[in-house]
A = this chain, B = another copy of it.
Amino acid sequence: MDAAQEAQKREAFRQAVVNTLERRLFYIPSFKIYRGVAGLYDYAPPGCAVKANVLAFWRQHFVLEENMLEVDCPCVTPEVVLKASGHVEKFTDLMVKDEKTGTCYRADHLLKDYCKEKLEKDTNLSAEKTAELKHVLAMLDDFSAEELGAKIKGYGITAPDTKNALSDPYPFNLMFQTSIGPSGISPGYMRPETAQGIFVNFKDLYYYNGNKLPFAAAQIGQAFRNEISPRQGLLRVREFTLAEIEHFVDPDDKSHPKFSEVSKLEFLMFPREDQVSGRQARRIPIGEAVSQGIVNNETLGYFIGRVYLFLSQLGIDKDRLRFRQHLANEMAHYAADCWDAEIECSYGWIECVGIADRSAYDLRAHTDKSGVALVAQEKFSEPREVEKLIITPVKKELGLAFKGNQKMVVEALEAMGEKEAMGMKADLEVKGEAEFLVCTLDKVVTIKKNMVSISKEKKKEHQRVFTPSVIELSFGIGRIIYCLYEHSFYTRANKDGDEQLNVFRFPPLVAPIKCTVFPLVQNQQYEEVAKKIAKSLTAVGISYKIDITGTSIGKRYARTDELGVPLAITVDSTTSVTVRERDSKQQIRVNVDEVASLVKSVTDGVSTWNDILWKYPTHSS
């Protein structure tokens, strides 16, 4: 199959999935009766149940099993917080406007579309031009506004809808802005991530944890991103649910006590080096990735392993899940290491979980802005002797020498690091003076021996005060769910072989409805049994759907398969019933009184279908 055929096949598969999702009301474009709003979707009943199940499992797998501190902060966020985090300044995309109609486009999208189309459809491209366009695609994220503008002008790209000329690219802030309170003088934003709510609470959470590191805080909630022109359906939306974890750790000790529990796990990893040198992702045991230094530290490695377990237990296909390390140009300057869990779907490899060692950046940013020290202390069991550098500028001499510039010189002297200071000390002792660059004056001055005293003193310290590093995990819940839909979907022929039926092979954990209850034929006796079973299912907390329409049993199975219901109970006697498993279509006979607890044991994961299959007589219809 060539690339175009591949693309067509992917597109057809996606259409089949999306049609089923829309028809069975997994989701609805929001405000549909008003013709909707791009990038906003509702989770309708089965989709909402899938989401609730994914979040409940996330809570169990991360919050409960790791004893994390869960918080729940508001979406409305005052400007000062997002200035500190950098979002007010930097959370932007470059936008161009149709110069006549004012329609807005993402500049990089237009350039990307142009290059892709040229590469795919222009058969006369020279080798040189092909290489150029490929280079542009690779560099897309790195272009400045000016560079993007130059390319758009250079290639003669116009507005896709009207062919009108486009404005120069300029940054558009992607936060939804609002105003807090009635005065109009307190700008606020809808949070673009949940993480900041955790960072600003560091001090209280650290206290709650008994002033001990490491600990993790977690938050599930809505986040907002006012996309310029949303594309890719459910993957790029304007409002979404994030589940985030901020694990605070001593920067000098990033080991993890439970690392051995995951170290043998082996899955697709795609280290930076392999990407740069054009190799493929490969299976590496996470223990090796850490010991070889591919992954920066044990804690980061531990969480990568836990994310792998989370996603594969949800039903994500292990062969279409990889952990990709950020390239140098993707990574923030302060980050120690970043990996994305990427899941392959019909749109390509999609970033679904970000896992990053952000070092001390976030806590420092809020410390600086708020003036509240977000730090941890390590109390020494006995005082430790440390050498401290003491720099004492002699202000009188400096004043005589530098007059109005005295203050700048004093500050620069005091700010010297150990190496620089000891160099100056040596120079002063040997030569009696030293050359010294004062950055704030932008010039080199001469410091004489009588202007400063530099020494090292031994001191006893009782504790160490430091800013913890943070290892952040950020789960895009909607993206994970969409990929799960694609990975769970398949079609199979009906009995007569004249129709293809849709099935979602959701694990019981995820399935929106755990079982259905049908009376085989419409009669009062069977209906009463069905209602009795329904009641016992409710009592044990199992979601079910009861179908007492007279539709044929085959049609009813097809309906429930399309919702991914793992088990179907058909009432065909007053004492026992038939239970059918979705994927194998195997059937067993179970007593009416036992059936609720059997369904519960399978859907809770206590037993598998194979565990129980041999315990009950099989049934052939």
Residues of A in contact with B (beta carbons under 8 Å apart): 25, 28, 30-34, 37-38, 40-45, 47-49, 51-52, 59-60, 64-65, 67, 69-78, 80-81, 95, 102-104, 172, 176-183, 186, 188, 190, 197, 200-201, 203-205, 207-208, 210, 222, 224, 226-229, 238-239, 366, 369-370, 372, 374, 538, 541, 543, 546, 549
CA distance A102 to B222 in the complex (A): 33
Of B60, B64, B177, B181, the residue contacting A178 (CB under 8 A) is B177
Most buried by B among A52, A197, A210: A52
Verify A40–B74 contact, CB threshold 8 A.
Answer: yes
CA distance A228 to B440 in the complex (A): 44
User: What's the least CB distance linking A541 to chain B, in Å?
Assistant: 6
Verify B238–A42 contact, CB threshold 8 A.
Answer: no
User: What's the least CB distance linking A140 to chain B, in Å?
Assistant: 19
Of B80, B179, B238, the residue contacting A76 (CB under 8 A) is B238
Verify A48–B64 contact, CB threshold 8 A.
Answer: no
> Which 4 pairs show the lowest CB-CB distances between chains A and B?
A43-B72, A33-B370, A33-B372, A104-B182
Query: Which residues of B are found within 8 Å of A549, using beta-carbon distances?
Result: 210
Verify B37–A176 contact, CB threshold 8 A.
Answer: no
30 contacts between A and B (CB under 8 A): A31-B77, A33-B366, A33-B374, A34-B78, A34-B80, A34-B369, A37-B180, A37-B186, A41-B74, A42-B71, A42-B197, A43-B73, A44-B71, A45-B69, A45-B70, A45-B71, A45-B205, A47-B72, A48-B70, A51-B72, A64-B538, A64-B543, A74-B238, A76-B238, A76-B239, A104-B181, A172-B182, A177-B178, A181-B228, A190-B190
Verify A42–B181 contact, CB threshold 8 A.
Answer: no
Given contacts A33-B370, A34-B81, A178-B190, contact A49 B25 (CB under 8 A): no
List 16 extra interface pairs beyond A33-B203, A43-B71, CB under 8 A.
A25-B204, A28-B71, A30-B73, A30-B74, A33-B366, A37-B76, A43-B73, A44-B71, A45-B205, A49-B70, A64-B543, A74-B222, A76-B224, A102-B183, A182-B228, A210-B549
Query: Which residues of B are found within 8 Å of A74, using beta-carbon distances?
Result: 30, 40-42, 222, 238-239
Residue of B nearest to A102 (CB): B183
Query: Which residues of B are found within 8 Å of A370, using beta-carbon distances?
Result: 33-34
Query: Which residues of B are found within 8 Å of A33, using beta-carbon distances?
Result: 200, 203, 366, 370, 372, 374
Residue of B nearest to A203 (CB): B33
Verify B201–A28 contact, CB threshold 8 A.
Answer: yes
